């Protein structure tokens, strides 16, 4: 910026106050508009009081936490449920992977929002309590021969209907009546985790409570490598512990997340 253009900019941008000796009609009009708008006053360096209230800003609701949501439709639950009418060779509600076209039926009592289920290795047909229906695709992924995989021992995962083009596969899908109603992943249901809502001071406390619950009440961690790992984590988190915030004092937040499945 040259000196001439700088002086022109100063002349156009600067508006003198009435006490500085120059007070034409344009200056009076500009000062009147400035007072009406409640802008910044150079006289005392403070903001003037607004003559009109600000427009109300509608703040969005906070995200629903995974720990507060209803029980999700998960692969783990589908494998744990046993029914007498299941086809021979079934693994939980899933039929044998050698029988790709077969379905197992279930009345859906495990989930309060599901009335009936038809489960196969290709998809899961869901009928909700309100009468709606949805088809959730099942993806069969290879796990490798070295860990017991193979063509008939593939890993099942659920495909989110909303992000199906991105081919995102999940272990569980969540239900929200106000956003569908349908089953979808955490991202599509606009949900988040309690650990992401904690600040850096209270996050170690939340992790410590969950580790202690897993160490004391877990059936598989009485001894061995996992037990020693939990003891080391508890010792480290106890050094950084500053307590748990009041918002996450409920028992739902103080148990491992996988226990709510």
pLDDT in tens, the chain (261 residues): 555 555 555 555 455 555 454 456 666 776 776 666 555 444 555 555 555 665 555 545 667 888 888 889 999 999 999 888 888 888 889 998 888 889 999 998 899 999 999 999 999 999 999 889 999 999 988 776 655 556 777 889 999 888 866 667 888 999 988 777 789 988 888 888 888 888 888 888 888 888 888 888 776 656 778 788 888 888 898 888 888 888 888 888 888 777 766
pTM over 0.75: no
Segment 167-179, tens digit of pLDDT: 678 889 999 887 7
Residues 6+ apart with CB under 8 A from 163: 184, 185, 187, 188
| Phi then psi dihedrals of residue 157, to 5 deg | -145, 155
Distances 256 to 66, 235, 237 between C-alpha atoms, Å: 12, 18, 15
Q: For the chain, count helices (H), then strands (E).
A: 6, 11
What distance in Å separates the CA atoms of residue 228 and residue 234, rounded to the nearest whole number?
A: 10
**Distance from chain centroid for Cα 3:** 55
| Closest to 171 measured CA to CA, from 163, 182, 160 | 160
């Amino acid at each position: 910026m040259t000196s001439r253009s700088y002086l022109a900019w100063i002349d156009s941008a600067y508006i003198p106050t009435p006490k500085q000796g120059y007070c034409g009609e344009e200056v009076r009009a500009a000062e009147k508009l400035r007072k009406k708008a409640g802008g910044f006053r150079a006289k005392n360096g403070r903001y003037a009081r607004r003559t009109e209230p600000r427009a109300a800003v509608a703040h969005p609701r906070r995200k629903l936490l995974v720990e507060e949501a209803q029980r999700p439709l998960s692969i783990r639950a589908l494998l744990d449920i046993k029914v007498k009418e299941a086809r021979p060779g079934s693994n939980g509600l899933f039929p044998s992977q050698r029988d790709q076209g077969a379905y197992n039926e279930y009345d859906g009592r495990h989930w309060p929002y599901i009335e009936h289920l038809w489960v196969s290795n290709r998809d899961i047909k869901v009928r909700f309590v309100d009468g709606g229906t949805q088809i959730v695709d099942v993806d069969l992924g290879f796990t490798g021969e070295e860990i017991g995989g193979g063509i008939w021992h593939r890993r099942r995962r659920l495909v989110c209907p909303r992000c199906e083009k991105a081919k995102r596969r999940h272990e569980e899908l969540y239900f929200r009546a106000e956003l569908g109603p349908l089953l979808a992943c955490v991202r599509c249901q606009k949900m988040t985790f309690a650990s992401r809502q904690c600040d850096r001071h209270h996050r170690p406390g939340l992790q410590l409570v969950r580790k202690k619950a897993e160490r004391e009440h877990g059936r598989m961690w009485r001894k061995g490598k996992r037990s020693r790992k939990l003891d080391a984590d508890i010792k480290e988190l106890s050094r950084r512990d500053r307590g748990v915030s009041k918002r996450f004092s409920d028992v739902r937040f103080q148990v491992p997340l996988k226990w709510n499945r």
